[in-house]
């Protein structure tokens, strides 16, 4: 049996999952961008593989593809450019100025 | 034909020119303010407030008015010495936001039965917040872009955002809805500040020491204001939101130590 902790966070050779985004009612950006963001529901809010939490404004950023370390995303509600990084087995977004 | 655009596919220049445009602002605020005169849906009903709660809310709103008036005067003054046209346009949208915030808070004071809001603000305003306003406007008068952005868009906006979010969670329905609209605006303001300063500090690290001194000078005023507002809202010290968690996290991302 392989210890799951010995696995890397993401199998980088595996094709990325794709996601169809629906509008979640987030209304703080123009309509054409709204499906790419949703409200964060607090510490119990489990992020999907295509989501990242903006550390600046605490809005959930969404992508049409699974997110991986090194990806760049934008948070339109607070105008931030972010890079996904892996820290302690978790994928988190960091601001790039 | 699809009716959406993937923002993550934009190049950096296009992203910046999009989010700092008047057009973006107009479509964004339309989403959460349309059909809400003075920030409140006609369907939202008032609840009865006890005298003590009403009085605390009036004092809090008076201080919100001081903060918003400071941001209105500062953001409109900064347009003249903004570093580029995009920043000028963004600040114009921020000035409009701040004017709206001031207006909705003044309107709320009138709804609560305050006969002369100017007299009430004068008598109830937090002294530390007034000092903070004076310092901020000194930076604007001196056309000191870095200091003005730091004091207004990072420090003041972070303080306001933290207080508004936690107040909205316990406020009466009308005040909570007003605050929700204001919070949505604040995301743009502190995001602009953090990103603008972050870029500047990378390009000119020597600015860091000067801003660190400004931060030390203003921290006391910010924390005094925060503590007093939390008391007015009748929030026990143990239940108070973690200003440090939000404010210090923002300044830590810019490289400032607590």
Q: How far apart are CA B55 and CA B58, in angstroms?
A: 5
What integer best gives the mean pLDDT of chain A?
A: 90
Q: How far apart are CA B29 and CA B181, in angstroms?
A: 9
Q: Which neighbouring-strand residues pair with B203?
A: none
Q: How far apart are CA B65 and CA B121, in angstroms?
A: 8
- Decide if B225 contacts B129 (C-beta within 8 A): yes
Residues of chain B contacting A97 with CB distance shorter than 8 Å: 195, 198-199, 201-202
Confidence of residue A9 (pLDDT cuts 50, 70, 90): low
Largest CA distance in chain B: 58
Q: What are the residues whose beta carbons fall under 8 Å from the beta carbon of A74, sequence distance 6 or more? A: A61, A80, A81, A82, B7, B8, B10, B15
Residue B1's pLDDT is what?
76
Residue B109's pLDDT is what?
98
- Can you name the CATH fold of B51-253? Ferritin (1.20.1260)
Query: Is the entire prediction scored with pTM above 0.90?
Result: yes
Closest chain A residue to B250, measured at CA: A56
Question: Which residue, A40, A28, A83, A80, is CA-closest to B194?
Answer: A80
What integer best gives the mean pLDDT of chain B?
A: 93
DSSP secondary structure, A38-71, as one string = EE---TT-PPPTTEEE-TTT-EEEE-SB---TT-
Q: How far apart are CA B235 and CA B166, in angstroms?
A: 10
Residues of chain B contacting A20 with CB distance shorter than 8 Å: none
State the complex-level ipTM: 0.91
Residues of chain B contacting A41 with CB distance shorter than 8 Å: none
- Residues A76-81: what's their mean pLDDT? 97
Give yes or no for residue A4 having a pLDDT over 60. no
Q: Which residues of chain B have pLDDT under 70?
A: 241, 243-244, 258
Residue A1's pLDDT is what?
47
- Decide if A66 contacts A16 (C-beta within 8 A): yes
| Nearest chain B CA: its distance from A73 CA (Å) | 5
Q: How far apart are CA B183 and CA B162, in angstroms?
A: 9
Residue B248's pLDDT is what?
78
Tens digits of per-residue pLDDT, A50-74? Answer: 999 999 999 999 999 999 999 999 9
Distance of CA A1 to the CA centre of its chain: 31
Beta carbons of A29 and B28 less than 8 Å apart: yes
The count of CB pairs under 8 A between chains A and B is: 88
- Decide if A93 contacts A52 (C-beta within 8 A): yes
Largest CA distance in chain A: 50
Beta carbons of B8 and A73 less than 8 Å apart: yes
Tens digits of per-residue pLDDT, B80-98? Answer: 999 999 999 999 999 999 9
Question: Which residue, B207, B96, B50, is CA-closest to B104?
Answer: B96
Confidence of residue A2 (pLDDT cuts 50, 70, 90): very low
State the burial class of residue A58 (Cβ atoms within 10 Å of its Cβ: 0-12, 13-18, 19+): middle
Tell me phi and psi for residue A85, to 5 degrees. Answer: -130, 155
Beta carbons of B194 and A55 less than 8 Å apart: no
């Amino acid at each position: 049996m392989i210890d799951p902790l010995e696995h890397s966070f993401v199998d980088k050779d595996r094709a990325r999952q794709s996601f169809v985004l629906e509008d979640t009612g987030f209304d703080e950006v123009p309509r054409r961008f709204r499906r790419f963001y949703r409200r964060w529901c607090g510490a119990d809010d489990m992020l999907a593989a295509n989501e990242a939490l903006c550390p600046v404004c605490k809005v959930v950023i969404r992508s049409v593809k699974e997110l991986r370390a090194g990806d760049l995303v934008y948070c339109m509600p607070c105008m931030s450019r972010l890079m996904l990084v892996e820290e302690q087995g978790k994928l988190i977004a960091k601001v790039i100025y | 034909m699809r009716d959406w655009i993937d923002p993550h596919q934009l190049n950096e220049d296009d992203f910046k020119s999009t989010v700092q445009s008047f057009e973006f602002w107009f479509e964004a605020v339309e989403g959460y303010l349309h059909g809400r005169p003075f920030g409140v849906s006609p369907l939202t009903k008032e609840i009865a407030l006890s005298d003590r709660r009403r009085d605390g809310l009036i004092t809090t709103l008076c201080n919100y008015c001081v903060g918003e008036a400071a941001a209105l005067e500062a953001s409109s003054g900064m347009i003249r010495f903004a570093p580029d046209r995009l920043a000028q346009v963004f600040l114009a949208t921020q000035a409009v936001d701040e004017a709206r915030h001031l207006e909705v808070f003044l309107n709320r004071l009138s709804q609560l039965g305050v006969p002369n809001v100017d007299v009430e603000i004068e008598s109830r305003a937090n002294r530390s917040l007034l000092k903070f306003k004076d310092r901020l406007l000194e930076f604007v008068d001196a056309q000191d872009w870095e200091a003005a952005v730091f004091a207004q868009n990072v420090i003041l906006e972070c303080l306001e955002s933290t207080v508004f979010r936690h107040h909205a969670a316990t406020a009466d329905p009308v005040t909570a809805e007003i605050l929700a609209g204001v919070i949505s605006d604040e995301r743009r303001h502190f995001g602009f500040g953090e990103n603008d300063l972050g870029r500047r500090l990378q390009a000119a690290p020597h600015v860091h020491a000067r801003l660190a001194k400004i931060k030390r000078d203003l921290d006391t005023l910010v924390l005094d204001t925060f503590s007093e507002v939390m008391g007015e809202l009748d929030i026990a010290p143990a239940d108070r939101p973690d200003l440090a968690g939000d404010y210090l996290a923002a300044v830590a991302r810019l490289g400032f130590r607590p």
